[in-house]
Every structure is written in C-alpha cells, then in structure tokens.
C-alpha cells in the first residue's frame, strides 16, 4: 500500500500543481519493539507557487493526544534527502522509528530540489544552464511551510527541530525568526564559521546542481577514517542498502551514466561563499530554545573547534549541551555507533525540565 501511494505522489509531482494544503496521505503499519507505527506521507505547498514539499510522518498507531514536547521535525543536509538518512533501517530500525516508538509524533521534510519534493525544471537541464538555487533563505521558507502544516494539523503552537549538517543552519535560522514555534533544537554535525588556520574554501559553484555518484559518496563518507576501521564502521551491506535508497530517491539522476543523485548547489554558494569566509548566516545569540549540539569524533566536516565555537555563541539558550561521540563520522546515524546518537538525542528530547531555568545553563561531555 505504501509503495502504491508513493507512486501516486510521484504522479502528482509530474502533474499540474494542485492548491490544497494537503495533497495526499498514505498510511501503513510498521510494528517494532512492540509498538505499531503508522506512516503517513504528504505533499505540502511551499510558500511560493510551483513547489510542493514532501513530508513524512511516523507515530504510534495508538497515539491520540499530541503535544509540543513530543512532536519533532527532521531537516536534512546539503546533499541527501531526509528519507535516506533519518528513516533508513540498517539494523534495529531507523532514527525516525526510534523516536516514534517512544511515543512521539515524528516528521521529516525534503526541501525543494531534494528527494520527493518538487525538483524545478532546471534540474532536467544541463547544470550549467542555470544558476544555483535552494539557498538558505528559500529553504527556511520551506521549513516554515512544513512547520505550519504540522502545527495546524495537530492543533499545536510549538514543535522541536532536529537538523543535520547544513540542516542545522536552516533550522537555527528558522528558530531565530520564529522562536515562539520552536520548543527544542537539536544540531547534529553543525555547520559554522571555521576557526583560525582553516583551509581556504573551494570555489563557489556557478551551476544549478551537482550529481553525486556512489563512489564519490563513499569517498566523502570515509574521509578521516583509517582504512582498517572502515569495514566495522559501516558494513558493506549497510552501504549498499543506503546506496540503493539514494539512487531510488532520484530516478532521473539514477538514469545517468554513471548513476548519480542530484542536489541543488545553493547550499554550496552559502557554504563556500559565506560560512567559510567567516560570514555567519544567522546569529546564534538569537536562538532561544534549549539546544543540543552533538557530533562524532571523526567528522571532518564538523571539527570539534567549529562545533565548540557554535556552542559558545549560543548565549541566549535557556539550556545547552555539547556531546561528542567516539568512532563516528558525519554520517553517524547510519554507522555502528548510531544507537549512542539516538539515545543521547532522545534523553534531550525527553527531559521536560529543559528551559525551566531563567538563567542560561550549559554542559559538555564526550562519549
């Protein structure tokens, strides 16, 4: 049933755009750990015309009461859509399922140009035919549309955001603009201005999008990991499953030679032309939600100095915590130590006392 519904989603994306706020809902059971989960899928209109956003929801089938404290939205990073990082089961369930099994109403979002959301026509043209798109300002609008849809659907005033990689920039920027709608903020492997002595940034791309092959994805994944550690960190079967999911998320890109997944280049304009030049795209001092920064030891995209600099800048958060988990990369949620990530984030989400103190508090630890 869920597969058929996804085919309907694809057909709707190819058809003339509809205007209803909820285009389609799909449901399926996903029983794990004794908790039967319900899955629903939606296409939500963006705030500007011509774009539809893919939103997936997982929650216990028996859940009938919803609250800001137990409603969560995942937002992906620069290259891969949400489905293949937050809701891919490589053993013991996905991260999305892990949170839903604990009584949460959990959502994920693909912003424009990614996954099952609208891919603008420029992505079917040669990449050098158009300028980069899906920069932070556009993505924040997409997050706002998804948040408003969820809050209206459940009759809530707030939810929590979990951003990964570039998604920490977009969720934090959203949190500074709509603080009243953000209960808690989780920043996994955050992007921030580099510290002194950082390498110069690559050239700012001029093309609309890029194509990422599985070989390129694998090479990037294992940067900073010793050769003898790689097989244990990510078993080959796990990588192959992830690779199939990546190509399935972009059927047009999968038809290229070699097969690839396409991603908008707007993020790289912001990353190479702003962040890595020392220009912040948001002010961390304006984040007013309890905030968790969590990263992995071998993450070369988020070195400890970068994450700690961001942590120090979160001066208005009523509570903040920094955690570093050993033996993991930027893709920790799909690696052998992913359960440590899941448990630490879950403890932060479950803590009802966070934000109760008037004075900012902080903590730091290494796992």
List per-residue pLDDT tens for the chain, 367 residues long: 444 454 444 444 444 333 345 555 555 544 445 799 999 999 999 999 999 999 999 999 999 999 999 999 999 999 999 999 999 999 889 999 999 999 999 999 999 999 999 999 999 999 999 999 999 999 999 999 999 999 999 999 999 999 999 999 999 999 999 999 999 999 999 999 987 777 888 999 999 999 999 999 999 999 999 999 999 999 999 999 999 999 999 999 999 999 999 999 999 999 999 999 999 999 999 999 999 999 999 999 999 999 999 999 999 999 999 999 999 999 999 999 999 999 999 999 999 887 544 445 566 666 6
pTM value > 0.85: yes
Structure tokens that stand for 336 in this block: 């052998």
Domain CATH for 30? 3.40.50.1820
Nearest to 186 by CA among 200, 165, 211: 165
Taking residue 137's Cβ as centre, other Cβ atoms within 10 Å add up to 12
Number of domains in the chain: 1
Any idea of the CA torsion for 149, 290, 168, 340, to the nearest 10 degrees?
-110
Q: Cβ distance 106 to 60 under 8 Å? A: no
Helices within 224-293 (DSSP H only): 227-233, 236-248, 251-254, 266-273
Structure-block tokens of residue 209: 């999008």
How far from each other are the two terminal CA atoms of the chain, in whole angstroms? 41
25: containing domain: 2-366
75 neighbors 171 (Cβ within 8 angstroms)? yes
Distance CA 283, CA 349 (A): 23
User: Beta 71-75 vs 159-164: how paired, if at all?
Assistant: parallel
Query: 57 near 2, Cβ under 8 Å?
Result: no
Report residue 78 as tokens. 């620069």
Q: Return d(Cα 140, Cα 225) in angstroms, integer.
A: 33
Helix or strand or coil: residue 64?
A: coil
DSSP for 130-183, please give it.
S-----HHHHHHHHHHHHHHHHHHHT-S-EEEEEETHHHHHHHHHHHH-GGGEE
Does residue 144 contact residue 178 with C-beta atoms inside 8 Å? Answer: yes
């Amino acid at each position: 049933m869920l597969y058929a519904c996804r085919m309907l989603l694809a057909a709707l994306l190819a058809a003339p755009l509809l205007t209803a706020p909820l285009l389609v809902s799909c449901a399926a059971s996903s029983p794990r750990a004794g908790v039967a989960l319900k899955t629903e899928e939606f296409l939500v209109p963006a705030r500007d015309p011509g774009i539809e956003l893919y939103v997936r929801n997982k929650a216990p089938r028996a859940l009938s009461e919803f609250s800001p404290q137990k409603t969560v939205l995942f937002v992906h990073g620069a290259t891969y859509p949400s489905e293949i990082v937050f809701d891919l089961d490589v053993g013991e369930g996905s991260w999305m399922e892990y949170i839903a099994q604990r009584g949460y109403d959990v959502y994920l979002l693909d912003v424009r140009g990614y996954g099952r959301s609208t891919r603008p026509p420029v992505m079917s043209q040669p990449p050098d035919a158009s300028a980069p798109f899906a920069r932070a300002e556009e993505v924040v609008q997409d997050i706002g549309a998804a948040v408003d849809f969820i809050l209206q659907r459940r009759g809530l005033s707030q939810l929590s955001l979990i951003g990964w990689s570039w998604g920490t920039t977009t969720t934090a920027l959203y949190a500074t603009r709509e603080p009243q709608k953000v209960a808690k903020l989780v920043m996994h492997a955050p992007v921030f201005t580099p510290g002194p002595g950082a390498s110069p940034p690559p050239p700012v791309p001029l093309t609309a999008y890029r194509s990422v092959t599985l070989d390129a994805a694998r090479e990037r994944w294992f940067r900073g990991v010793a050769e003898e550690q790689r097989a244990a960190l990510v078993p080959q079967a796990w990588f192959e499953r992830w690779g199939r999911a990546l190509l399935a998320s972009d059927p047009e890109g999968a038809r290229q030679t070699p097969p690839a997944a396409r991603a908008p280049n707007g993020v790289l304009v912001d990353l190479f032309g702003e962040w890595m030049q020392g220009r912040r795209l948001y002010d961390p001092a304006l984040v007013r939600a309890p905030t968790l920064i969590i990263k992995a030891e071998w993450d070369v995209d988020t070195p400890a100095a970068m994450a700690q600099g961001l942590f120090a800048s979160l001066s208005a958060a009523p509570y903040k915590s920094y955690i570093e988990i050993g033996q993991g990369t930027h893709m920790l949620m799909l690696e052998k130590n992913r359960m440590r990530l899941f448990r630490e984030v879950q403890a932060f989400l479950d803590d009802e006392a966070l934000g109760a103190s008037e004075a900012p508090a902080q903590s730091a630890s290494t796992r």
